[in-house]
Amino acid sequence: MGKYFFVLIFIFLVVQVKSQQLPVYNHYYNNPYLLNPAEVGSDGYLSVVLNHRMQWTGIEGAPRVTTFNLQAPFSYKKGSLGVGIRNFQRGLITTNEIMGTYAYKAYLTKVATLHFGISLGLYSTSIDLNQIDDPDDPILTNFANNNIQPLGNAGFKLRTKAGFNLGFALPKLFKVNYLNESDFSSYDFSPLDEFVFMTYFKRPLDKKIITRKVKGMKRRVEIEDAYAPLQLYFIYKHSALVDKRVEVLGTLHLHEDFWVGGAYRLNYGVSGLVGFDIGSLSFAYAYEPASDYVDGFTQGTHEVQLTIRIGEKKKLERSRPILRTLEKTETHRARFSADEISEGGTDQGDGKMKKYYVVIKSFKDFNSADEFVRRMAEKELYTNIFYNNIDKKYHVYSFQTYKLKEANEQRRAVQELTKYKSVTIITVEQ
């Protein structure tokens, strides 16, 4: 039995050395966190991603990899959290991994950012004892009871406004050791045994107008986070144990919710890609024909990925907007007339100077506006009333300035930090 076990381990190690010391994925273009911890939460959404890869279907014991990711970026903050769980089956042997990730974004310039990420976790390896004639063999028992070991990876990414991204990842900070005398004994720190270099071009568009059905009618709407249809990726993987790998991949978005693509992996072959979005769901599929190593024995490799985006996109601006309001008054003085309300918007303004009012809500009568000011003061949002001679309305405003940029900043702050979303800017010539 001992001889059988060591033959099994030898085969297992050879398979690992020759095939998949580094994870193999086709959907890193849609979820770069698969390869680089610095990419966690990079799309700005709280998301759940499930990836399943069935390699060499038709061959008994062929590799099966299932990966679960949870990614959680923070609004306005420069950090993101992630959780990665992976189940890797090949033959009688199964490896389970779990890691937690933290990523941080630093601004090099107003438009260029540098992202850092690090993951720490655990892995364990088990053998399917139901397939063993003598599962009580002490060698197998020792192996099964002493295989929980530390796991970690790290990486960074440089992102530019033009769409160029440059990433470098260390997928294994500790040397993998599947035969241990005790738990947590494999602490050989060897981060440079394997590394991944990835660069890709994903050019963002300032504005994209599309036609969509809104309440049964076709309308022209502007979409956020639009990118150029063609996206290109290049990956170089290095390992001290296997041949170096080079991969190129490209996707073409035929529609904002549908894309096709292809990839080529040096010394392995080509892959086909397709994917689509339905609301907050994203589905992608990849197929690899059988390589020369297993040609004639398998129907190829299939990989699917499902992404669920939860809630609204997190705001990842350089800094959180600051809400500025009028100065606090001791009490709200009840007003019975509009005589003291400032006026503006006359038809004969000379245009020498413009004042901008950040208006939260407008009313046709003074009493309603005055009551709204009182309610706002109770919420510590201090406002005042401005009467516009042009539209004959009383406008409740939280901020006034002679600078349009300041007015736009405060409008955005009110929209994002309060429940009032229909904020406008009224311009009055002095």
**What are the structural domain ranges in the chain?**
2-310, 342-429
Does 3.40.50.300 match the CATH number of domain 342-429?
Answer: no
- Residue 184 banded pLDDT, cuts 50, 70, 90: confident
pTM above 0.75, yes or no: no
Question: How many CA atoms lie less than 13 Å away from 10 in the CB half-sphere?
Answer: 6
Could you give the percent of the chain with pLDDT greater than 90? 42
Mean pLDDT over each residue of the chain, to the nearest integer: 82
Task: List, for residues 36-51, the tens digit of each pLDDT value.
Answer: 999 999 888 999 999 9
Backbone angles phi, psi at 404, to 5 degrees: -65, -35
* The two domains 2-310 and 342-429 share their CATH topology (first three levels equal): no
pLDDT of residue 99: 97
Largest CA distance in the chain: 101
Which residue from 269, 264, 270 is spatially nearest to 293, judged by alpha carbons? Answer: 269
pLDDT of residue 20: 47
Q: Which CATH architecture has domain 2-310?
A: Beta Barrel (2.40)
Task: List, for residues 83-119, the tens digit of each pLDDT value.
Answer: 999 999 887 788 899 999 999 998 888 788 999 999 9
In this model, does residue 383 exceed pLDDT 80? yes
- Residue 176 banded pLDDT, cuts 50, 70, 90: confident
In this model, does residue 224 exceed pLDDT 70? no
CA distance 282 to 273: 14
- Residue 212 banded pLDDT, cuts 50, 70, 90: low
| Averaged pLDDT for residues 31-39 | 96
pLDDT of residue 157: 97
Question: Between residues 140 and 121, which one has the greater pLDDT?
Answer: 121
CA distance 424 to 359: 5
| Beta strand residue intervals within 61-190, DSSP E | 64-73, 79-90, 93-107, 113-127, 149-159, 164-170
Question: Between residues 179 and 368, which one has the greater pLDDT?
Answer: 368
Question: How many CA atoms lie less than 13 Å away from 45 in the CB half-sphere?
Answer: 16
Say if residues 193 and 240 touch (Cβ distance below 8 Å): yes
Residue type, 418: T
Task: List, for residues 269-325, the tens digit of each pLDDT value.
Answer: 899 999 999 989 999 999 998 765 655 556 789 999 999 999 988 877 666 678 888
